Structure 1
């Protein structure tokens, strides 16, 4: 058994959101459905549900201009052929992110991705797993693993856990 401890999200949106702020619109790029009283002391790593997914190691292009995530070809068949909005779900919070389709059939998360990365304190080397939990509504569950894993890998167990801080 491998045990991971995941870091806290640096910016937990615990502001008092009005009911209007909880609306999802195509131009919305901020967190929605946030519970100001929620406690997110530790992220939970959940097993995949057997739905289409892809993983990504965060690099410079995701955190600096052009602030985007290129979606790998392996998941293209499960995504729309036209621009739309994808909802990224992480720690009981949701972000509306623009999903773009380019002429060369390249698909990417663009507008709103930067806000997601800032709100969750993503850094170069962090890993994200995006699982398509609802293809019709275009919702993806995101899991974030801190990238500060030791260069030498080892198997952890209950007595010697792998701690990602």
Structure 2
């Protein structure tokens, strides 16, 4: 059983979950927290778009442009390095092989978006380089916000939400996994 409590703070939604599962950053016993950007139309209109730095990584509110998010699995971060683009973006993205730029942490990675195939995806070699250079692991969450899209180029601004859970919490979760938390 998972109990989620949401509240907004400085343009970010904080989600507290009273149970342990892959992909959440945890603090304390069975209390997990994930910071997830939310769309704030007023903040998107203002010229001062706040950026929050946490553990050396940057986070910011979404601007209202199309985006998708993904929790990485082994197939995303190990050879075959495969990341499919969700169908919800198909109406926005062009068909064909399009030059694509991912930006994160002040750096850019060039790759090809393959929109001709039935399963739309980034080319595996360049996606693998992005994964390796950013030390991505299964359980990490990524948010891809569309910044540029035309017939010759696509640009995504990427946020990385690290999914590392301290070993001591994982061990405790494994020992107590069969003891559900009941909230009445």
TM-score by length of 2: 0.57
**Could you tell me which of 125, 129, 149 is aligned with 2:139?**
125
Structure 1 vs Structure 2 CA RMSD: 2.4
What residue number does 1:51 align with?
Answer: 65
After the TM superposition, list the runs of 4 or more consecutive aligned residues in structure 1 that deviate by more than 3 angstroms.
149-152
Equivalences, count? 116
Bigger fraction of residues in helix = 2
Q: Deviations over 1:28-80 (max 9, x none)?
A: xxxxxxxxxxxxx7111111010000001111111123212100000111111
1:69 match: secondary structure = coil
Name the structure 2 match of 1:96.
110
Instruction: Identify if the C-alpha distance between structure 1 residues 148 and 79 changes in structure 2 by more than 3 Å, giving closer, same or farther.
Output: same
- Mapping of 1:3-82 within 5 angstroms? 42-82=56-96
The 3 A distance-change label for structure 1 pair 138 and 103 is: closer
1:145 aligns with 2:166: no
Query: How far apart, CA to CA, are the structure 1 residues paired with 2:108 and 2:84?
Result: 20
Give the 3-state SS of the residue equivalent to 2:59 in structure 1. Answer: coil
Deviation at 1:122, TM superposition (A): 0.1
**Which of the two has higher C-alpha Rg?**
2
Distance in 2, matches of 1:71 and 1:108, equals 5
- Cα distance in 1 for partners of 2:95, 2:64 equals 23
Q: Which of the pair is proportionally richer in strand?
A: 2
Q: Counterparts of 1:58 and 1:103 in 2: how far apart (Å)?
A: 22
Per-residue deviation, 1:148: 2.3
Query: Deviation of residue 102 (structure 1)?
Result: 4.3
Cα distance in 1 for partners of 2:129, 2:141 equals 17
Asked if 1:107 corresponds to 2:120, the answer is: yes
Summarize deviations over 1:63-111 as a string: whole Å, max 9, x none.
123212100000111111001221000011100012113442x210123
TM-score between the two structures when normalised by the length of structure 1: 0.63
